[in-house]
């Protein structure tokens, strides 16, 4: 059925059929929803999630079939070159998110509410979430923290905005932690994390990211709550995995934590291509006659 609908959509494009027919069938194309993410956990299918911050990359990873695209505040690091995620603003996140949304046909798009845009109180959280949803067209927001931001999460959810939680190493609190080392190794912090996960589930969040915690603890959380748990540096026993795209493609060079698997060396490919281009320009090989008017 899904194949037929996808085929009909392509057929209408290729035959140049009128726009009304196209838009009717486009809405039938299978899109990832929170319900499908829950169904994936229920049937034991792992969820794939990657970050993206711009139109071109989002188009590539959506086309490859990733389930969730995170417009992460890691844009502060990999796009803007800041040391932490703290400086990125709500306006900048909305700019990145709207670029991503224009590229996406299938993936579920979640956007980080940046530091300083929800910690004040629940009204501020709601205002920020609504701006992200309204101005970017995103499908959901992500917020870092547990019990301490419960009121804000409830307020955002009450406006009909799906919320993804984020526990463990929460980079917006990096100056409180002091380091990027593994979190919740001690019993007290591990117990709080499990309690926080339960609180988030009770509030109604549809999924939780667990960052850089022991694999056994992540397994316990995933078995304790019914909602999907997406891990980054949280081992294999969770319901899905997320990586920062620039890290897994080998674009960022200096960041090599143990949990990172690098799937390509795009940095080297770009370096080689640019070096060749420079050489061709300097040697007057580019442009040649065929490349000129
Ligand atoms: O901002 C981000 O990229 C994230 C991931 C590390 C989960 O929050």
Q: Which of 151, 188, 201, 211 is catalytic?
A: 211
**Residue-wise pLDDT tens for the chain (293 aa)?**
344 444 344 434 333 334 333 433 333 448 999 999 999 999 999 999 999 999 999 999 999 999 999 999 999 999 999 999 999 999 999 999 999 999 999 999 999 999 999 999 999 999 999 999 999 999 999 999 999 999 999 999 999 999 999 999 999 999 999 999 999 999 999 999 999 999 999 999 999 999 999 999 999 999 999 999 999 999 999 999 999 999 999 999 888 999 999 999 999 999 999 999 999 999 999 999 999 99
CA-based nearest residue to 119, from 88, 148, 93, 156 = 148
Q: Is residue 148 among the annotated active site residues?
A: no
Is the separation of the CB atoms in 58 and 50 below 8 Å? no
Ligand 1 atom with the smallest distance to the CA of 242 is: 7
For residue 77, is the peptide bond before it cis, meaning its omega torsion is within 30 degrees of 0? no
Closest Cα to atom 8 of ligand 1: 72
Tell me the two tokens of residue 194. 């499990």
CA-based nearest residue to 206, from 62, 61, 47, 83 = 47
Walk me through the domains of the chain, giving residue ranges and CATH numbers.
2-279 (3.20.20.60)
> Cα torsion for 277, 281, 283, 284, to the nearest 10°?
130
Is the separation of the CB atoms in 161 and 138 below 8 Å? no
Closest Cα to atom 4 of ligand 1: 72
| 169 in contact with ligand 1, CB cutoff 6 A | no
List Cβ neighbours of 17 (8 Å cut-off, separation of 6 or more): 11
Q: What pTM does this model have? A: 0.90
Residue 18 confidence (pLDDT): 40
Ligand 1 atom with the smallest distance to the CA of 244 is: 3
């Amino acid at each position: 059925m899904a194949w037929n609908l996808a085929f009909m959509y392509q057929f209408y494009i290729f035959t140049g059929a009128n726009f009304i027919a196209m838009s009717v069938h486009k809405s039938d194309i299978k899109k990832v929803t929170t319900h499908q993410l829950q169904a994936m956990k229920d049937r034991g299918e792992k969820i794939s999630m990657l970050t993206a911050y711009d139109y071109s990359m989002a188009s590539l990873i959506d086309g490859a079939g990733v389930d969730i695209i995170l417009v992460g505040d890691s844009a502060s690091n990999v796009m803007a070159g800041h040391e932490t995620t703290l400086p990125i603003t709500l306006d900048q996140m909305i700019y990145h998110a709207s670029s991503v949304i224009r590229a996406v046909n299938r993936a579920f798009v979640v956007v980080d509410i940046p530091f300083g845009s929800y910690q004040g109180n629940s009204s501020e959280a709601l205002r920020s979430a609504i701006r992200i949803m309204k101005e970017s067209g995103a499908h959901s927001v992500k917020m870092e923290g547990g019990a301490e931001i419960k009121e804000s999460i409830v307020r955002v959810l009450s406006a009909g905005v799906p919320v993804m939680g984020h526990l463990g190493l929460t980079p917006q609190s990096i100056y409180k932690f002091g380091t990027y080392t593994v979190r919740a190794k001690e019993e007290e912090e591990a117990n709080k994390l499990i309690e926080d996960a339960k609180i988030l589930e009770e509030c109604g969040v549809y999924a939780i990211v667990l960052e850089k915690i022991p694999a056994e603890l992540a397994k316990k959380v995933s078995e304790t709550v019914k909602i999907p748990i997406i891990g980054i540096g949280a081992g294999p026993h969770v319901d899905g995995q997320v990586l920062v795209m620039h890290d897994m493609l080998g674009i960022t060079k200096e960041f090599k934590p143990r949990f990172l698997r690098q799937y390509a060396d795009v940095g080297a490919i770009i370096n080689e291509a640019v070096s060749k281009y420079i050489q061709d320009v300097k040697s007057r090989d580019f442009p040649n006659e065929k490349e000129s008017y």
